Amino acid sequence: MKVLKGACLFGQSGGPTSVINASAAGVFIEALSQENITAVYGAEHGIKGILNERFFDISREDREELELLKTTPSSSLGSVRYKLKSEDVDETDYIKLLEVFKKYNIRYFFYNGGNDSMDTCNKISKYMQKSGHECRVIGVPKTIDNDLAITDHCPGYGSAAKYVATTLMELYLDTHVYDTGLITVVEIMGRNAGWLTAASQLAKYKNLGPDLVYLPEKAFDLDQFIKDVKRVAKMKKDKVIIAVSEGIKDKSGKYISEYASTVTRDSFGHAQLGGLANFLANEINRATNIKVRPIEFSLMQRCGAHLASATDVEEAFMAGVMAVRSAINGETDKMVIFRRDEKSNKYKINYDLIDVNLVANAEKKVPLEWIKDDNSGLTQEFVDYALPLIQGDFKAPLVDGLPRFVKLKKELVTIKQ
Amino acid sequence: MKVLKGACLFGQSGGPTSVINASAAGVFIEALSQENITAVYGAEHGIKGILNERFFDISREDREELELLKTTPSSSLGSVRYKLKSEDVDETDYIKLLEVFKKYNIRYFFYNGGNDSMDTCNKISKYMQKSGHECRVIGVPKTIDNDLAITDHCPGYGSAAKYVATTLMELYLDTHVYDTGLITVVEIMGRNAGWLTAASQLAKYKNLGPDLVYLPEKAFDLDQFIKDVKRVAKMKKDKVIIAVSEGIKDKSGKYISEYASTVTRDSFGHAQLGGLANFLANEINRATNIKVRPIEFSLMQRCGAHLASATDVEEAFMAGVMAVRSAINGETDKMVIFRRDEKSNKYKINYDLIDVNLVANAEKKVPLEWIKDDNSGLTQEFVDYALPLIQGDFKAPLVDGLPRFVKLKKELVTIKQ
């Protein structure tokens, strides 16, 4: 294996998670310990920070603060949603990226994100290779949606799933305190894959979960939905809890939330913001005489680090570490994945690598056979799959009863050419 | 002091909190240890359970389960919203209550709730006295709203405040990950008093809080609100976080949420459910070109026991214990209150009693001088007041990574007459 000496650059991309910074901690702490890595940079707002040469010098950060990254939610370097155009269409960004990579002698590039970010990794790597700038590129997975291909699961999912299950259990108790009817509609994130909504089954497994669960994997039918709700209401004295993915679609493939934004216009004719939960609550309200309460887990489900899963924090951290070690060992154009050790009695993950372009444009959905026909939830297979991912607590130290999150110095790097 | 031998009855009333069952644990555990208390009953759904003779025999519950009440949110006995009519108007309920109290030999009655529940305590006690059925009645305070008179604060408030502050800190980080504009409107509970919305100042004290805070104590002006938002947006690169109490009113005293439900009708002309946050988000959207996200803390803020304050759990428990001890010592027609020891350097609470009718029809609001004129939040006086109330973590043991909440047997008592 050829020794490659140079700077390492890390960026965060896409929607944040509770443990996204744990991967940053893994990359940074490991990179700082590698003798062939001459400098460790964090890009501000991912690819945008590279294009604008906004790099934080990570060697100037205190080690204790880097440790606090593990328990601080939401991309501490800043994130971005920026899709690189194909270089055939517009080479401008690539030319700038190459210039910057050369200027800062970036030989190791780690990018943390979902499938779009893996596409970015792939494009940048290919362009650097073509241009003769040797650089090893490794993707670090991240998404609460859990929709990346091949990997057993994604860092970020376990903590979001723990938030969803725990909060649903608490809501179950809250919505059952009165002996009067109440239908609660809880909207959970997940645009195309229902993994996070499926986590409501973990609450159900504890007998404190929703009665009805709707994932995007199955076509949503409003009439059937109302029938389901009425059926459960009749059985359960008008007490119904419903978990619904924001990404449910009808059989034509149209998001139900699109109907919501068409229908809900105020008296000025302005389209109303928000929510699938509101829309469904109104539909139920119209069809029954039962009180309905729409609830959105909103951003809380992806930043609720006080409910992070220790397993998830550890794995997110290790994903960062493994990315660096793999690159040092000569790997490039790969993404770190988790393989579940099926031979082990206990839950055990092995870290592995796959070609980044296998992930770039794929999407992993909840297997249809895990979704119960009567919309009452998921099968035991799902519980067996998801339960190990939410184990253990690991959260920020408390100061004044409140979390002490990381405070980075964020000293900008300046290189004169 | 006259010894009074007989059964003790406890009921939960009104909106639940994260620690309401800690008070139940306090009453039950203390009552079970008192030799003059011959039986310990829990009423199902508060006053309704008394009228319907639905009593759980608490002596049949395992001690370990009673301990788990401390960390289980939301009225485990079931709650109720039931206002006793004045006996001059309709004596029916009172006659039934007296009959039941006599039948079960209830000599100690503890009722857990807010001002309405204290009114219930007062009415029942007066009627029993008049009817010659000796019974000691003590109210146990409870409300996330923190609006009960005289007591320094109310059990339930500290945990809800901790939820609000912690979650706002996390949301602050989440809403700052992109370098694009975003205005976040967070709706927080509190119909007439802004204590819970004020807790957002604790996040602000940690530099991770809302830019603008609106409480019901100050008349809300929509034009001023839009001006405030625009001003902050200009200063802070279109990043604004707003905490707003559900109970804000305009200068005529009309709830802003009432305008919301009038305005938001869908295309069928049906009034739309939900929310003040949605309404304000739409107003901002109309006045600026900045992306707006409405968020409601909804029921989560009152049942998020995984974020309970250890101080709150302990005080809620002790409120229950003190209620029983006071009654045994001959007190009646009182409510347990907390007095802050102003002489102590450290935060210290002394338990005391006041006449229940002093609380029954009063409401304690946030002092106007604690609210900053420019709607930017609360003064340091508020922080000094509220910070001690959110200290420490105390939550349910985890089984499978999820909270193990109480499971009561709930054996119904049957007495033949």
How confident is the model over B139-190, as pLDDT tens digits? 999 999 999 999 999 999 999 999 999 999 999 999 999 999 999 999 999 9
Is some CB atom of chain A closer than 8 A to the CB atom of B282?
Answer: yes
* Distance in Å, alpha carbon of A258 to nearest chain B alpha carbon: 14
Single-letter amino acid code for the residue at A81 = R
CB distance A45–B398 less than 8 Å?
no
End-of-domain residue from the set A302, A324, A341? A302
**Which residues are registered as beta bridge partners of B335?**
B139, B354
Is some CB atom of chain A closer than 8 A to the CB atom of B176?
Answer: yes
Mean pLDDT of B28-41: 98
Amino acid A359: pLDDT? 87
Q: Do A286 and A164 reside in the same domain of the chain?
A: yes
Amino acid B274: pLDDT? 53
Question: Which one of A302, A306, A380, A385 makes the best mutation probe of the B interface by having the most chain B beta carbons within 10 Å?
Answer: A306
Amino acid B266: pLDDT? 47
pTM over 0.95, yes/no? yes
Q: Is residue B381 part of a domain?
A: no
Indicate whether B101 pLDDT > 80. Answer: yes
Is some CB atom of chain B closer than 8 A to the CB atom of A406?
Answer: no
CB distance A265–B270 less than 8 Å?
no
Q: Which domain holds residue A53?
A: 6-143+151-155+305-361+392-403
Pick from A75, A166, A309: which is nearest to B306 by CB? Answer: A166
Can you list the residues of chain A whose pLDDT is less than 70?
A: 261-274, 417
Q: Do B201 and B268 reside in the same domain of the chain?
A: yes
CB distance A270–B264 less than 8 Å?
no
Q: Do A232 and A180 reside in the same domain of the chain?
A: yes
At B3, give phi and psi (nearest 5°): -75, 135
Amino acid A266: pLDDT? 47
CB distance A170–B270 less than 8 Å?
no
End-of-domain residue from the set B302, B320, B339? B302
Is some CB atom of chain B closer than 8 A to the CB atom of A302?
Answer: yes
Q: Do A132 and A55 reside in the same domain of the chain?
A: yes
Amino acid A388: pLDDT? 98
Q: Do B151 and B12 reside in the same domain of the chain?
A: yes
Pick from A45, A177, A278: which is nearest to B274 by CB? Answer: A278
Is some CB atom of chain B closer than 8 A to the CB atom of A48?
Answer: yes
How confident is the model over B248-300, as pLDDT tens digits? 999 999 999 888 765 554 444 545 445 899 899 989 999 998 999 999 999 99
SS3 A87: coil
CB distance B169–A307 less than 8 Å?
no
Amino acid B310: pLDDT? 98
CB distance A166–B402 less than 8 Å?
yes
Q: Do A253 and A176 reside in the same domain of the chain?
A: yes
Amino acid A95: pLDDT? 97
The angle subtended at Cα A364 by Cα A363 and Cα A366, nearest 5°, is 140
Question: Using CB atoms and an 8 Å cut-off, which of residues 309-328 of chain B contact chain A?
Answer: 309
pLDDT confidence tier of residue B241, bands split at 50, 70 and 90: very high
Q: Do A166 and A235 reside in the same domain of the chain?
A: yes
Pick from B73, B309, B392: which is nearest to A174 by CB? Answer: B73
What's the structural domain count of chain B? 2
Cβ contacts of A170 on chain B, cutoff 8 Å? 73-74, 300, 303-306, 403
CB distance B173–A282 less than 8 Å?
no
Query: Which residue of chain B has the CA closest to A280?
Result: B273
* Distance in Å, alpha carbon of B132 to nearest chain A alpha carbon: 32
Give me the catalytic one of B145, B211, B228, B312.
Answer: B145
Is some CB atom of chain B closer than 8 A to the CB atom of A139?
Answer: no
Q: Is residue B115 part of a domain?
A: yes
Q: Is residue A381 part of a domain?
A: no
Q: Is residue B350 part of a domain?
A: yes
CB distance A169–B402 less than 8 Å?
yes
Cβ contacts of A398 on chain B, cutoff 8 Å? 393
Amino acid A133: pLDDT? 98
Q: What is the CATH number of the domain that holds B267?
A: 3.40.50.460
**DSSP element (H, E) containing A95:** helix A92-103
Write down the residue that tokens 């404190």 correspond to.
A208
How confident is the model over B117-126, as pLDDT tens digits? 999 999 999 9
Give the residue numbers of A marked as catalytic. 145
Q: Is residue A375 part of a domain?
A: no
Can you tell me the distance from the alpha carbon of A24 to that of A66, in angstroms, rounded to the nearest whole number?
9
* Distance in Å, alpha carbon of A199 to nearest chain B alpha carbon: 12
Taking all residues of chain B, what is their mean pLDDT, rounded to a whole number?
Answer: 94
Indicate whether B383 pLDDT > 70. Answer: yes
Amino acid A267: pLDDT? 46
Q: Is residue B226 part of a domain?
A: yes
**DSSP element (H, E) containing A102:** helix A92-103
Is some CB atom of chain A closer than 8 A to the CB atom of B96?
Answer: no
ipTM score of complex: 0.97
Is some CB atom of chain A closer than 8 A to the CB atom of B387?
Answer: yes
Q: Do A183 and A228 reside in the same domain of the chain?
A: yes
CB distance B401–A295 less than 8 Å?
no
Q: What is the CATH number of the domain that holds A118?
A: 3.40.50.450
Helix A157-175 vs helix A310-328: crossing angle, to nearest 10: 170
Question: Which one of B54, B170, B246, B311 makes the best mutation probe of the A interface by having the most chain A beta carbons within 10 Å?
Answer: B170
CB distance B272–A293 less than 8 Å?
no
Q: Is residue A48 part of a domain?
A: yes
Q: Do A266 and A195 reside in the same domain of the chain?
A: yes
Q: Is residue B254 part of a domain?
A: yes
Q: Do A226 and A336 reside in the same domain of the chain?
A: no
- Three-state SS letters, chain B: CCCCCEEEEEEECCCCCCCHHHHHHHHHHHHHCCCCEEEEEEECCHHHHHHCCCEEEHHHCCHHHHHHHHHCCCCCCCCCCCCCCCCCCCCHHHHHHHHHHHHCCEEEEEEEECHHHHHHHHHHHHHHHHHCCCCEEEEEECCCCCCCCCCCCCCCHHHHHHHHHHHHHHHHHHHCCCCCCEEEEEEECCCCCCHHHHCHHHHHHCCCCCCEEECCCCCCCHHHHHHHHHHHHHHCCCEEEEEEECCCECCCCCEHHHHHHHHCECCCCCECCCCHHHHHHHHHHHHCCCCEEEEECCCHHHHCHHHCEHHHHHHHHHHHHHHHHHHHCCCCCEEEEEEECCCCCCCCEEEEEEEHHHHHCCCCCCCHHHECCCCCCECHHHHHHHHHHHCCECCCCEECCEECCCCCCCCECCCCC
Q: Do A247 and A222 reside in the same domain of the chain?
A: yes
SS3 A249: strand
End-of-domain residue from the set B256, B272, B302? B302
Q: Do A315 and A269 reside in the same domain of the chain?
A: no
